[in-house]
């Protein structure tokens, strides 16, 4: 799922090389197909220009998708193992290891699009508050920040790509800011990702504090014609796609 950004240590579960190897094999299949299908149309609707930053790029899956859509994109991540995997998978791409403070050193008003595809799922609230104003500063006038996050409901159901059944006792009582557990089915491991609940209300308050306004909010659902073995995806959206701009 997400890739934790802790203020002091900048470590996350995917810093582990084994996790990075699992993540590198993920495609836009199963539940992830919802993003693959919805995102291109959302970007066409809201984004002008081609200069793009993939924030929390992981092993480069979303960076490569942006490039396939015509964006001049590069990816940044805090996990060395993820960046190494991204570079190995995509030698022609540009991927950078993001150390603490590096984001602030990027030039202001640099990007028409900043995509954050799940990095905030396991980011603590204090760190979210620190990062969003920085990302807002990096947007060109008229630029858009697209933040893709897990809806809290994802931790309470079964999905084509995820299982939570072994963690329901913990997840059901979790509230905003609490840890929840979720396991990616394609990962050959029993260790779940440890995410942090952030409600839609909390995200909206966070955006407001960062000087961002919501231009669009999308909750993708599966369709029968997708030819995906969905579980809940046709009735419940596991994710929220926010399109944000500086005020």
User: Quick check: is 177 in a domain?
Assistant: no
Q: What pLDDT is recorded for position 4? A: 38
The domain total for the chain is 1
Phi then psi for residue 182, to 5 deg, are: -155, 140
- Give backbone dihedrals phi and psi of 92, rounded to 5 degrees, phi first: -85, -10
93 part of a folded domain:
yes
Considering the domain boundaries, does residue 97 fall inside one? yes
The model's pLDDT over 41-82, given as tens digits with 9 standing for 90+, comes to 999 999 999 999 999 999 999 999 999 999 999 999 998 999
- CATH code of the domain covering residue 69: 3.40.50.150
- Please indicate, yes or no, if residue 8 is contained in any of the structural domains: no
pLDDT of 2 over the 60 cut: no
Is the confidence at residue 96, as pLDDT, over 50?
A: yes
Residues 160-167: what's their mean pLDDT? 97
Q: How confident is the model at residue 9 (pLDDT cuts 50, 70, 90)?
A: very low
Which span out of 4-8, 124-128, 230-234 was modeled with the highest average pLDDT?
Answer: 230-234
188 burial type by CB count under 10 A (0-12 exposed, 13-18 middle, 19+ buried): exposed
The Cβ-side half-sphere exposure at 12, using a 13 Å CA radius, reads 31
Q: Is residue 166 part of a domain?
A: no
d(C-alpha 37, C-alpha 240), whole Å: 14
Residues 171-199 have a mean pLDDT of: 93
131 domain-assigned: yes
Task: Return the beta strands (E) in 151-238 as ranges.
Answer: 162-163, 179-184, 193-196, 212-218
Helix (H) or strand (E) holding 170: helix 168-172
Question: What's the distance, CA 33 to chain centroid?
Answer: 14
Domain of 219, in residue numbers: 13-151+207-246
* For range 20-48, the mean pLDDT: 92
**Which helix (H) or strand (E) covers residue 143, if one does?**
strand 139-150
Q: How high is the pLDDT of residue 12?
A: 52
∠ CA 73-111-38 to the nearest 5 degrees? 60
Listing DSSP states for 84-137 in one string gives HHHHHH-TTS-EEE--TTHHHHSPSS-EEEEEEESGGGG--HHHHHHHHHHHHH
Prediction pTM value: 0.92
């Amino acid at each position: 799922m997400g890739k934790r950004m802790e203020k002091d240590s900048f470590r996350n579960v995917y810093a582990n090389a084994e996790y990075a190897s699992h993540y590198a094999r993920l495609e836009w299949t199963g539940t992830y197909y919802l993003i693959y299908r919805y995102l291109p149309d959302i970007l066409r609707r809201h984004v002008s220009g081609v200069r793009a930053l993939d924030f929390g790029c992981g092993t480069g899956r979303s960076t490569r998708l942006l490039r396939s859509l015509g964006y001049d994109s590069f990816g940044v991540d805090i996990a060395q193992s993820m960046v190494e995997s991204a570079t190995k998978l995509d030698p022609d791409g540009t991927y950078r290891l993001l150390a603490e403070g590096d984001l602030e050193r990027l030039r202001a008003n640099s990007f028409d699009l900043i995509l954050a595809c799940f990095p905030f799922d396991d980011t603590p609230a204090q760190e979210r508050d620190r990062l969003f104003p920085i990302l807002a500063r990096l947007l060109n006038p008229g630029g858009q920040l697209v933040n893709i996050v897990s809806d809290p409901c994802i931790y309470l159901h079964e999905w084509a790509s995820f299982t939570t059944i072994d963690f329901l006792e913990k997840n059901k009582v979790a509230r905003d800011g609490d840890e929840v557990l979720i396991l990616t089915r394609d990962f050959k491991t029993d260790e779940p990702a440890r995410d942090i609940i952030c409600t839609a209300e909390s995200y909206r308050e966070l955006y407001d504090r960062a000087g961002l306004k919501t231009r669009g909010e999308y909750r993708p659902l599966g369709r029968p014609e997708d030819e995906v073995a969905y579980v809940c995806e046709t009735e419940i959206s596991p994710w929220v796609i926010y399109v944000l701009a500086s005020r």
